[in-house]
Amino acid sequence: MISDFDYTALAKRVGPYLFRQRMRLQEYYVAQSFGPGRTYFHPENARWARKFLTVLLKTSGLYWLGERHAHAIRLHEHRAALPQLPAAFNGYRVLHLSDLHLDLDEKLARTILERVREARADICVITGDYCSFTMGDPEIAMGWMRELLRHLAMPVYAVLGNHDRIEMVTHLEAMGVRMLMNEHVALAREDACLYLAGVDDPHYFETSNLEKAVEGIPEHAPVILLAHTAEIYREALGAGIALFLCGHTHAGQMSLPGGTAILHNARHPRRMNSGPWRFHELQGYTSSGTGACIVPVRFFAPGEIVVHVLEAAPDPASPA
């Protein structure tokens, strides 16, 4: 179990009230399958749900198709044109991983590691959910993270998801990951700066504080926001975020042929479920996730490893 946890330092970073909120919710809600939360049923906490689904899928003969789909992780580029992007960051490559759920299945974790090795980028960002079972031992996922980081020869920035305990921050940072807990960092290139802000989980724990995360960033400076879900898209618009990167949905994980998600587990429009989207001048990208949750299968909802390639776009606010 995770130890050496510096409560005082982390409370200051997250904000004392939100930190206390997270600790209390972790204590009361994380270990239950039924009860208050965004939904009444929390399948991520129920081992019996995993067994039930596995038996059902194996009996129906669908398990192996789903397993094949889960291992077919797409590695691709997404070009993001950002107004106010300094010329020095033209072509900057941001590797985006999300929803790794590394403790779910050893075979799938190995496939993820293999695919990640092929990606080339300047930095890597991870938008949460390292664990599968929130009540399980995070050490298993942390062990896989140690291996994964050996394959990433670039700085790594990350946020936590709704499956992750806050104590994991200490371990991830000891591995060299810069966790953004309602904080930001400045990325420098030549004389120019690009800001990377990150918030704690907006979905289950509701401990995101975007206002705190962007505090001190110069007005009109380009900011990339990392959050586990797109649910704070309205706040992101208000904060003038240039690019909002998130995950959580797994693009439904089990979808109908053609990709229509059966389940929608987030409070944002369905069009924000996966891939690029817009909300007025805000641009976002919801990763369909790299791993899988509850059962290591996907149907018609491929996992992905995305490299966002940044490009300068004309600022619509500037006079022609």
- The least distance separating Fe ion from the CB of residue 263, rounded to whole angstroms, comes to 12
The neighbour count for residue 46, using CB atoms within 10 Å, is 17
The neighbour count for residue 114, using CB atoms within 10 Å, is 12
Q: Are 232 and 210 in contact (CB under 8 A)?
A: yes
44 φ, ψ (degrees, to nearest 5): -65, -15
Compare residues 42 and 212 and give the one whose CB is closer to Fe ion.
42
Q: Are 299 and 66 in contact (CB under 8 A)?
A: yes
Contacts with 163 (C-beta within 8 Å, 6 or more apart), sequence order: 44, 101, 128, 129, 130, 131, 132, 133, 134, 293
- The least distance separating Fe ion from the CB of residue 56, rounded to whole angstroms, comes to 23
Q: What angle do CA 304, 289, 92 make, to 5 degrees?
A: 60
From 122-130, 236-244, 279-287, 302-310, give the range in contact with Fe ion by CB under 5 A: 122-130
Helix spans in the chain (H): 7-14, 16-28, 47-59, 63-71, 106-116, 138-150, 168-174, 210-214, 233-238
Give me the amino acid identity at 299.
F
Contacts with 277 (C-beta within 8 Å, 6 or more apart), sequence order: 230, 271, 283, 284, 285, 286
268 lines the binding site for Fe ion (CB under 5 A): no
Which two tokens mark 269?
């429009």
Compare residues 18 and 194 and give the one whose CB is closer to Fe ion.
18
Compare residues 212 and 248 and give the one whose CB is closer to Fe ion.
248
Compare residues 129 and 183 and give the one whose CB is closer to Fe ion.
129
Q: How far apart are CA 115 and CA 75, in angstroms?
A: 7
165 lines the binding site for Fe ion (CB under 5 A): no
From 143-151, 157-165, 191-199, 284-292, give the range in contact with Fe ion by CB under 5 A: 157-165
User: Binding pattern to Fe ion, positions 77-116, x when CB under 5 A?
Assistant: ----------------------------------------
129 lines the binding site for Fe ion (CB under 5 A): yes
- The least distance separating Fe ion from the CB of residue 249, rounded to whole angstroms, comes to 8
Q: State which of residues 171, 248, 268, 308 lies at the interface with Fe ion (CB under 5 A).
A: 248
162 lines the binding site for Fe ion (CB under 5 A): yes
In the bound complex, which residue of the shown chain has the CB atom lying closest to Fe ion? 248
Closest CA relative to residue 239, chosen from 200, 281, 193, 181: 281
- By CB under 5 A, the count of residues binding Fe ion is 4
User: Binding pattern to Fe ion, positions 185-224, x when CB under 5 A?
Assistant: ----------------------------------------
From 53-61, 90-98, 124-132, 217-225, give the range in contact with Fe ion by CB under 5 A: 124-132
Q: State which of residues 161, 222, 284, 302 lies at the interface with Fe ion (CB under 5 A).
A: 161
Contact residues for Fe ion, defined by CB under 5 A: 129, 161-162, 248
